[in-house]
Amino acid sequence: MKNIQQFEVAIIGGASAGLSAALILGRSARKTVVFDTGEPRNRPAAHAHNVFTRDGVSPMEILATAKEQLKPYPSVVTVQERVLTAAKEEGVFRLETAAGVYTARKVILATGVKDILPEIKGIQELWGNKVIHCPYCHGWEVRNTPVGFIANDEIATHQIPLLYNLNKDLTIFTNGKSAFSEEQHEKFRNRGIGFIETPVTAIEDVADGINIVLADGSVHHKYATYVRPVRLQFHNELAIQLGCELDESGAIKVDELQQTTIPGVLAIGDVAHPMMHQVMVAAAGGLRAGGLCNAQISAEDFEK
């Protein structure tokens, strides 16, 4: 029989959102467990940007600092375990890992998302560095250079002006027949934006950038390329087990205080937002959720 460990708050996910929640809970002396599998979404990137006072620091260094700053707060413990099941039983939440069972009065889901990329040779190896997806995260570093944009959907039309703002030498690779309207094509042509429908077969790393190899054998040299993921895989399995509602994208529905549709369950970070996936946004959500958990537990105990 597995040993049961009891906590006031369980945080599932140990990246920016989860560790931010853990910090305010630690400073509130709340007995908290953080489940961290060590797989943050931004780990391939060499640098994180738009992080207040920490712009350009490695994502892993940011997390290492966050973990170090939790050490003065003994009520917070971190375990390197994956939560497999979650359910509410007898007024508390029961979480089970391969190694044990944990209970908590409140649960904060910070389980993140995964980028599902096009099946193009070389894309995974360069992801987060020369193959990028966010102009706010990487755009400054590749500004005023020739870049590509592998995309072919409606959302891409909103991103193209952001890319063009920083890179006038821009080529769109639709990786097959274009889904853009003729009106959109006309806008691209008027601004000198290149447009290629030939499928992309590979992205090669070279000393001064990348080579985008097409199915017809042609090669297009760029400094870097943006890529629209095929889709985002929201890690919402535990939310579903707990009965939380999702939006049409798969993100967990939350209110302005990060509360899900299930009382006592909160969600933060990328898994709770269909868009605007940024370190600072995730950390802010963690602060809100952690503070609310402490306030709710304090009020509940005060009324006993």
Domains of the chain, residue spans: 4-114+231-302, 118-227
97 contacts 83 by C-beta, under 8 angstroms: yes
pLDDT of amino acid 275: 86
Give 216's contacts (C-beta < 8 A, 6+ positions apart).
198
Q: Using CA atoms, how far apart are residues 41 and 222, in angstroms rounded to an integer?
A: 25
- What is the residue whose two structure tokens read 């990487």? 138
Give the homologous superfamily in CATH for domain 118-227. FAD/NAD(P)-binding domain (3.50.50.60)
pLDDT (tens digit, 9 = 90+) per residue, 145-171? 999 999 998 889 999 999 999 999 999
Paired tokens of 214 = 């097409």
Nearest by Cα to 227 from 164, 157, 172:
172
The pLDDT assigned to 1 comes to 59
Helices 279-302 and 16-26 pack at an angle, to 10 degrees, of 30
Q: In this structure, what DSSP letter does residue 257 have?
A: T
- At 283, phi and psi to the nearest 5? -65, -40
Query: According to the model, what pLDDT value does residue 40 have?
Result: 87
Interior angle at CA 151, CA 149 and CA 157, nearest 5: 90
Give the pairing of strands 200-206 and 209-214: antiparallel
| CATH class of the region 4-114+231-302 | alpha beta
Comparing 4-114+231-302 with 118-227, is the CATH topology the same?
yes
SS3 35: strand
Q: What is the pLDDT along the chain (304 residues), one digit of tens a residue?
A: 578 899 999 999 999 999 999 999 999 999 999 999 998 888 888 899 999 999 999 999 999 999 999 999 999 999 999 999 999 998 999 999 999 999 999 999 999 999 999 999 999 999 999 999 999 999 999 999 999 999 998 889 999 999 999 999 999 999 999 999 999 999 999 999 999 999 999 999 999 999 999 999 999 999 999 999 999 999 999 999 999 999 999 999 999 999 999 999 999 999 999 888 999 999 999 999 999 999 999 999 999 8
The pLDDT of residue 17 is 98
Q: What crossing angle do the helices spanning 16-26 and 59-68 adopt, rounded to 10°?
A: 20
